[in-house]
Structure 1
Amino acid sequence: MTFTLTSNDITDGGVLPDAQVKALGNTSPHLAWSGAPEGTKSYAVTVYDPDAPTGSGFWHWTVANIPADVSELPTGGPVPSGAVEGRTDYGKAGFGGAAPPPGHGPHRYIFTVFAVDTNTLEVTPDDSGAVYGFNLHFHTLAKASVTATYETKA
């Protein structure tokens, strides 16, 4: 079975809906996954914009320690009990919607779910996306992504 990610709110290859744009809704999307590999003990979710003009992209959401019996996050949350949301590049924990600079062109927003080989990653709400990514690098069994774009017109 293949590990897959789907959403009722986001279409892979489509334009990000207004609800997931910081100034228009700032709402985390519905995400559902299936086909996790054997040995999955928890899940993590990230949302990353590699096109941000920062030199290192922009982290819009990091969630770890989602229990293995959870296979879906509802639109607008909350995250499951025991899960931990990390600090986004907006400077606080929780979902932060798309907000590319006006006239910068379309940005890609990569929503990824990770099947993780441990019940808990050693991360906190104060940790950055880079810290979450570092921990996930050593504990990912599989991952699946959906990518949407968004552009703020000048």
Structure 2
Amino acid sequence: MTFTLTSPAFQNNAPIPDQHARDGENLSPQLDWSDPPEGTQSFVLIMEDPDAPSAPTFRHWAVYDIPRDRRHLAPGRSSGANTESLPHAFNDFGNLRYDGPQPPAGDPPHHYRFRLAALDVPKLDVPDQPYAGDLWEAARAHILSEAELVGTYQA
């Protein structure tokens, strides 16, 4: 079987509903995953926009040290106040939470990559409240496999 990441909110390469946009309700979508590789000790998730004009990749969300027995993140759990016990990294808006799609008006649809990595360590050795880019860099050496879900959004 293949390590997969899905969402009941949108299909792969399909539009992300407005409720998940930063100018909408800013609610994180439910994410579900299955078939992580043998040896998985934890997961790390990052959401990024490679189409952002301000940076090569703009990071909207990062959650790490997700226990190996988890298979989903509930919807709306990571916007606003951090209501889950899972640690978050600072996104590129400077927040320790989910901040949804917010492409500039008039831009063509942006692609938002939800990347979930299965790691060979139970916890990442990172400073408390790292930046999302630094978190992903620290995770790279421990990735056993990666699953991706892409959604699009246009203002």
**Range class of TM-score, shorter chain:** over 0.9
For residues 43-83 of structure 1, the C-alpha deviation after alignment (integer angstroms, 9 at most, x for no partner) is 111100000012322100001100111111110115753x2
Structure 1 partner of 2:10: 10
Closer/same/farther in 2, CA of residues 126 and 56 from structure 1, 3 Å limit: farther
> Shift of the alpha carbon at 1:125?
5.6
* Distance across 2 between alignment mates of 1:63 and 1:5: 15
Shift of 1:20: 1.1
Q: CA deviation at 1:132?
A: 1.2
User: RMSD of the TM alignment (CA)?
Assistant: 1.4
Q: Give the 5 Å matches for 1:33-112.
A: 33-77=33-77, 80-81=84-85, 83-112=86-115
Matched, 1:130 2:133: yes
Q: How far apart, in 2, do the equivalents of 1:45 and 1:124 lie? A: 17
61-70 or 124-133: which moved more? 124-133
C-alpha contact 1:93 1:125 (8 A) present in aligned 2: no
Paired residues of 1:92 and 1:126 also in contact (CA < 8 A): no
- For normalisation by structure 2, the TM-score amounts to 0.92
2-side partners of 1:66 and 1:6: how far apart?
A: 17
Mark the runs of 5 or more structure 1 residues left unpaired by the alignment: none
Structure 1 residue ranges (4+ consecutive) displaced by more than 4 angstroms after TM superposition: none
- Displacement of 1:124: 4.6
How many residues end up aligned between the 2 structures? 151
Residues 101-127 of structure 1: CA distance to partner in whole angstroms, max 9, x if unpaired?
111221000011110110001235632
Match of 1:120 in 2: 123
Residues 131-150 of structure 1 aligned to structure 2 (within 5 Å): 131-150=134-153
Give ranges in structure 2 of 5+ residues lacking alignment.
none
Change (3 A) 1:151 1:84: same
The percent of aligned pairs where both chains have the same amino acid is 36
